[in-house]
Structure 1
Amino acid sequence: MSRGDWITFVRFLHVLGAVVALGFSLSYGLWISRGDAVGGQARPFVLRTISWIDRRLTTPAYVLQLLTGLVLVFLTDVRRFQQLWLALSLGLYALLTLLAIVAYAPAHRRQTALAERLAAGEAVEADYVEAGTRARRLGLLVAGLTLVILALMVFKPTL
C-alpha cells in the first residue's frame, strides 16, 4: 500500500470511530428516558446495557479516535501539532477523558445502583431522580465537549 492509501485507510478508521463513539454517546439519554418512562426493572436494565455498550464499543471507539488521529498527524505533517484546532482538540480530549473517569462514570454507577435498589423496593424515588439528574448533566457536558471536538476537527479554525 502507498502512503496515500495508508492515510485514506487510517482516515476511514478515524471517521468510523467518531461515528460509533458519538452515535452511541448521543443515544444514551434517549435510552435512559425510555427506561425511566417504563420504570421497574427497565431502569436498571437500560443503565446496565449502556454500561455494557460503553465498555465494549463507545470507549474503544474514543481510544481509536485518539490513536488514529495521532497516526494521521504523523503520516501527513507533524507540524499540525502547532495548529490551534488540533491543540484545542487534544486538550479537550484530555479534559473529556478526565471528566468521564472521575465524574461521569461514578455518577452513572450510582444511578445504576439506585435504579437496582429502587426496582427491589429498597430505595427512594427522589434519590434516584437526584442521581439521574447529576448523571444527565455530566452526560450532556461530555457530549457537548465531544461535539466541540468534532466541530474543531471539521472546521479547523485558526487564529
Structure 2
Amino acid sequence: MAYSLVKYVHVLLAITAVGSNITYAVWNVRGAIDAQHLGFALRGIRFIDNRIANPCYGLLLVTGLALRFIGFNFWPRWVLSAIVLYVVLVVVALAGFSPALRRQIVSLEADGPTSAGYLRWAGRARITGIVSGVFALVIVFVMVVKPAA
C-alpha cells in the first residue's frame, strides 16, 4: 500500500512539473503577441517555475528514491538512467534556464523587448527551456517504458 501511495504522489508531481513546463511556450507566445503583456507573461513563467515546477521536481527526486527503497533492493538500469538524466535536467534548468529567464525579465524592464540584451537572454531562455523540456520528456519516457528493465 505504501508503494502505491508514494507512486501516486510521484505521478501527480511529474504531471504537475512537466505540465507546468509545457505551458511556458504558451505564455511566451501570448506575451509576444502584445509587448505590453510580455513582462506579465515572463513573470508568470518565473512564478510557475519557482513556486510550482521546481518544487515538484525536487519532490520527484524524494518520492522516486523512496519508491526505489520501498519497491526494489537493487538499482534497475532504467532508474539509474532516469537519475542521470534528472541530474542533467537540474543543471540545465538551474544554471541555464532560471538565470536566463531572470535576466530576460530585468533586460525587458530596463531596455525593452527589442534591445540586444533582451533578445540575447530571450534566446538563451528559449534554448535552455527547450533542452530542459526534452530531458523532462525523455525522463517520463524512461519511467513509463522502462527500457532494458
Q: TM-score, normalised by structure 2?
A: 0.93
Q: Does 30-39 or 138-147 show the bigger shift?
A: 30-39
Select the residue among 53, 57, 70 that pairs with 1:58: 53
Q: C-alpha displacement at 1:128, in angstroms? A: 2.1
Select the residue among 121, 131, 141 that pairs with 2:121: 131
How far apart, CA to CA, are the structure 1 residues paired with 2:33 and 2:111?
Answer: 14
The question of 1:141 aligning with 2:141 is answered no
Secondary structure of the 1:68 match is helix
Match of residue 95 from structure 1: 88
Quote the sequence identity (%).
Answer: 34
Count, aligned residues: 149
Q: Aligned-residue CA RMSD in angstroms?
A: 1.5
How far apart, CA to CA, are the structure 1 residues paired with 2:62 and 2:123?
Answer: 33
The question of 1:23 aligning with 2:19 is answered yes
**Structure 1 residues 3-55: Cα deviation after superposition (integer angstroms, max 9, x where no partner):** xx111110110000000000000110110111111102x11111111111112
Q: C-alpha displacement at 1:68, in angstroms? A: 0.7
Runs of 4+ that moved beyond 3 A: 123-127
What pairs up with 1:61-80 in 2 under 5 angstroms? 61-79=56-74
Q: TM-score, normalised by structure 1?
A: 0.87
Larger of the two Rg values belongs to structure: 1
Structure 1, unaligned stretches of length 5 or more? none
Match of residue 39 from structure 2: 44
How far apart, CA to CA, are the structure 1 residues paired with 2:27 and 2:111?
Answer: 18
